[in-house]
């Protein structure tokens, strides 16, 4: 490798020719075939490599798209070498690639010998860290979007059973610790099977979507709602005693009973809902609280539907 060839590499630009001349015998060339691995995730790294020709790819895990590509004149390995840590990604040749390898001793000699190399190294590290941070932030946003999808009911836009199972126990514990009242309600759309049977599942889905809109429009901003399956919903009333929960549930029940439902230009029969409410007790568990609300719902169904029943907590 000649001094003239070294001078053309971006990572070595600005370095004195005397230093470049001394670098030639210290560095060594590495040739990789396409697919050859230069560094493996989780293994120690003791060198910095400069790409002379070809292209490297950086992979966090096998089977997913590369995190980045490293081309001619760019360096790889400096972060793990400087930190004295294991490599955090696998680096492999995307195509036949030639590299100039600097072992740890040569790397530090070059850093001490050339202010231009040290300055360029700092600039490259800053750019790489910013790029890594942007990639991390993008991954965080993407993960949050996936989590939102995983915790939402696609049909109604409300939360789903998974969200309820994860979140309601924590809400209950906070209220128990603060000695604040909490009520939940289980709501079931009355005779919903007949809507599906008479008008088809698309009409039933449209009706459930409208119920979801009515739920969002009639609960308070502090309340929560989840569709837990089929035509069943769970309503959560934080910092709310039984009288307040009854009022909120009745307001929603009456809104559903008075709303016109339709699908594809066709009117649907009047739709109503039955609601069962349970107040949080000092010793209540998540499953027990749901079971008590279910028992109140059964009482509402047995009493003729389109009504609200409740079970009080301990005094």
- CA dist 310 and 289 (Å) reads 12
CB proximity list for 250: less than 8 A, separation 6 or greater:
308
CB 209 within 8 Å of CB 315: no
What is the sign, positive or negative, of the torsion defined by CA atoms of 56, 59, 64, 68? negative
What is the DSSP-derived secondary structure letter of residue 102? E
Q: Specify which residues 59 forms β-bridges with.
A: 90
CA 64 to chain centre: 17
Of 7, 82, 19, whose CA–CA distance to 50 is shortest? 7
Q: Which residue is catalytic, options 231, 250, 281, 309?
A: 231
CB 37 within 8 A of CB 92: yes
Q: Which helix (H) or strand (E) holds 224?
A: strand 224-229
The question of whether 231 is a catalytic residue gets the answer: yes
Per the CB < 8 A criterion, the answer to whether 248 and 224 are in contact is no
d(CA 205, CA 196): 9
Pairing of strands 273-279, 308-311: parallel
- Cβ atoms 73, 124 nearer than 8 A: no
Give the 3-state secondary structure of residue 72.
coil
- Output the CA–CA distances (angstroms, integers) from residue 115 to 25, 47, 76, 121, 225, in the order listed: 20, 20, 19, 10, 62
* Active site amino acids: 231
């Amino acid at each position: 490798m000649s001094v003239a060839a070294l001078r053309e590499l971006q990572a070595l630009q600005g370095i004195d020719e005397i230093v470049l001349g001394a670098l030639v015998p210290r560095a060594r060339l590495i040739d990789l075939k396409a697919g050859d691995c230069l560094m493996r995730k989780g293994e120690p790294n003791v060198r910095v490599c400069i790409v002379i020709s070809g292209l490297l790819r950086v992979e966090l895990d096998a089977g997913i798209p590369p995190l980045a590509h490293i081309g001619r004149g760019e360096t790889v390995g400096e972060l793990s070498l400087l930190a004295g840590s294991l490599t955090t990604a696998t680096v492999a040749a995307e195509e036949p690639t030639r590299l100039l390898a600097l072992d740890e001793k040569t790397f530090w000699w070059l850093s001490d010998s050339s202010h231009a190399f040290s300055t360029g190294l700092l600039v490259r590290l800053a750019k790489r860290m910013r790029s890594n941070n942007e990639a991390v932030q993008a991954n965080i946003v993407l993960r949050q979007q996936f989590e939102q999808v995983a915790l939402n009911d696609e049909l109604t836009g409300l939360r789903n059973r998974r969200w309820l199972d994860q979140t309601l126990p924590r809400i209950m514990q906070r209220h128990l610790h603060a000695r604040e009242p909490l009520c939940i309600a289980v709501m079931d759309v009355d005779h919903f099977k007949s809507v599906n049977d008479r008008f088809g599942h698309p009409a039933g889905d449209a009706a459930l979507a409208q119920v979801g809109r009515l739920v969002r429009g009639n609960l308070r901003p502090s309340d929560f709602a989840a569709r837990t399956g089929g035509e069943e919903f769970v309503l959560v009333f934080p910092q709310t005693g039984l009288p307040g929960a009854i009022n909120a549930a009745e307001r929603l029940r009456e809104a559903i009973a008075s709303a016109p439902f339709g699908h594809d230009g066709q009117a649907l029969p009047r739709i109503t809902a039955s609601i069962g409410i349970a107040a949080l007790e000092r010793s209540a568990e998540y499953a027990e609280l749901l079971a008590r609300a279910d028992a109140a719902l059964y009482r509402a169904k047995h009493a003729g539907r389109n009504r609200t029943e409740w079970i009080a907590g301990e005094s």
